[in-house]
C-alpha cells in the first residue's frame, strides 16, 4: 500500500519517536478528559440510534457511523452530518481496507512477499488494485480532514480538538513543513467516577478480552537477529502475535469463551485481579502500544455505562414465545 508514513507502520526512527511524543502528550489520561463532553454527546447519539434501529444490520452500520463521527469530532473538531457524511464514509471505507490488508490470510502477498513483484495484469494480482485504491484513500484521510480543521482555525470557527491542541502547542525548532507533516500523519491514525462503578470497568475489560477487532494484532518485523526461548528469529522476520489466543488462555481466563465480567472483580475469594486485557496485547505492546488507548478506553466506558443506564437488554422471542439465543453471530435479535 506504500503507507510507510502511517504512524503504526513506520520504522522506529527519530520521526516516529517525535510523533509518539506528540500523541502521548495530547492523548494522556488527563488530556483525554478535555474531550469528555464530546464523548458524552456521541454516546447520547448512539442511544438514539439504538432506540430507533430496525434490524441488527441497520444497527451495526449506524454504530459504525457513530464511532467514525466521534473520532472525526475529537480529532478535527468536525461536526458530522446526521447521515451520508462524506468524511465519515471516507474514514469507514479506509478503515475497512486497512483492516483487510492487515489480516494475514486475506491476501496471499501477506505471506508470500515475492508476490508484490507480480504485474497488475497477471491473474490473481487483484491485490495490487486494492492496494492502490487503499493508498489513495489513506492519503485522503490524512489530508482532507486536516485541511478542513486548519481552515476553521484560520477562520476562527474551530471547535476544541486534538488537532487544534497540537497545532497550538507545537512551536519546536522543526521547519513548518515538517511540523505540519508530523501532525497530519499522527492525526490520521486516531481514529461519572469509574472507581464508583467497578462492574462497568469489569465489563469494559471483558469486552476487550472476549472479542478483538484485530485477533492477530498488527504484524511486526524483527530489526536484528534474536533468540527467544531457544528459537532463532532472523533479522527481517515477520512477527505475528496471537492476541486472541493470549486473551483466551484457559490457564489465565477459566471458561474463556464465556462472557463473565465477574472475573475482573476483586472479592474475598478472588483477591487478585487477573491480567488486564489492555496490558495483554489488545492495544499492542512496548514502544508500539497504541497511544490512543486512554481515549479508546474512556469512550468504551462511557458508551457501555450509557447503554446500561438507558436500556434493559433482553433476548428477543420467537413465534413460540421462546427466547432467541444471542451468540457471536453478526445477525442477532434483541429487544
pLDDT in tens, 22-66: 777 777 777 777 777 778 888 888 888 777 765 555 677 777 777
Query: Is 334 annotated as contributing to ligand binding?
Result: no
User: CB neighbours of 22 closer than 8 A, spacing ≥ 6?
Assistant: 166, 170, 182, 183, 186
- In CATH, what number does 7-190+292-335 get? 1.10.630
For the question of whether the overall pTM of this predicted structure is more than 0.75, the answer is no
Cα 253 to Cα 172: distance, rounded to the nearest angstrom: 47
Residues 322, 327, 332, 335: is their CA dihedral positive or negative?
positive
* Nearest by Cα to 332 from 114, 58, 140, 74: 58
Residue range(s) of every CATH 1.10.630 domain in the chain:
7-190+292-335
pLDDT for 6 equals 65
Cα–Cα distances (Å) from 136 to 75, 237, 295, in that order, read 20, 28, 27
* Through-space distance between the first and last CA atoms of the chain, rounded to whole angstroms: 42
Answer whether 238's CB lies under 8 Å from 28's CB. no
pLDDT for 225 equals 93
pLDDT for 234 equals 92
pLDDT for 233 equals 92
pLDDT for 227 equals 92
Cα 96 to Cα 134: distance, rounded to the nearest angstrom: 9
Query: In the structure grid, which three cell numbers stand for residue 224, read together?
Result: 536484528
Identify the segments of the chain with pLDDT beneath 50: 172-175, 192, 268, 271
Amino acid at each position: 500500500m506504500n503507507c510507510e508514513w502511517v504512524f503504526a507502520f513506520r520504522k522506529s526512527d527519530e520521526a516516529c519517536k517525535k510523533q509518539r511524543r506528540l500523541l502521548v502528550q495530547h492523548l494522556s489520561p488527563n488530556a483525554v478528559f478535555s474531550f469528555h463532553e464530546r464523548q458524552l454527546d456521541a454516546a447520547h447519539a448512539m442511544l438514539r440510534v439504538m432506540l430507533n434501529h430496525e434490524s441488527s444490520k441497520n444497527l451495526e452500520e449506524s454504530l459504525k457511523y457513530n464511532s467514525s463521527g466521534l473520532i472525526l469530532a475529537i480529532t478535527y473538531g468536525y461536526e458530522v452530518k446526521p447521515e451520508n457524511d462524506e468524511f465519515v464514509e471516507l474514514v469507514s471505507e479506509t478503515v475497512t481496507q486497512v483492516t483487510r490488508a492487515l489480516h494475514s490470510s486475506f491476501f496471499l502477498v501477506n505471506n508470500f512477499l515475492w508476490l508484490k513483484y507480480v504485474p497488475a495484469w497477471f491473474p490473481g494480482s487483484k491485490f495490487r488494485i486494492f492496494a492502490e485504491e487503499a493508498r489513495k484513500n489513506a492519503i485522503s484521510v490524512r489530508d482532507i480532514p486536516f485541511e478542513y480543521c486548519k481552515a476553521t482555525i484560520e477562520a476562527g470557527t474551530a471547535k476544541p480538538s486534538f488537532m487544534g491542541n497540537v497545532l497550538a502547542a507545537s512551536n519546536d525548532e522543526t521547519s513548518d513543513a515538517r511540523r505540519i507533516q508530523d501532525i497530519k500523519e499522527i492525526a490520521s491514525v486516531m481514529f461519572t467516577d469509574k472507581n464508583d462503578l467497578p462492574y462497568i470497568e469489569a465489563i469494559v475489560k471483558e469486552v476487550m478480552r472476549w472479542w478483538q477487532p484485530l485477533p492477530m494484532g498488527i504484524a511486526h518485523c524483527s530489526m536484528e537477529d534474536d533468540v527467544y526461548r531457544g528459537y532463532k528469529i532472523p533479522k527481517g522476520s515477520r512477527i505475528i502475535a496471537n492476541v486472541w489466543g493470549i486473551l483466551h488462555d484457559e490457564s489465565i481466563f477459566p471458561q474463556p469463551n464465556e462472557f463473565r465480567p465477574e472475573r475482573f472483580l476483586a472479592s474475598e475469594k478472588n483477591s487478585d485481579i487477573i491480567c488486564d486485557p489492555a496490558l495483554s496485547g489488545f492495544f499492542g505492546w512496548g514502544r508500539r502500544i497504541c497511544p490512543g488507548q486512554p481515549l479508546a478506553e474512556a469512550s468504551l466506558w462511557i458508551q457501555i455505562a450509557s447503554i446500561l443506564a438507558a436500556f434493559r437488554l433482553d433476548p428477543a422471542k420467537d413465534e413460540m414465545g421462546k427466547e432467541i439465543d444471542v451468540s457471536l453471530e453478526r445477525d442477532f435479535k434483541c429487544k
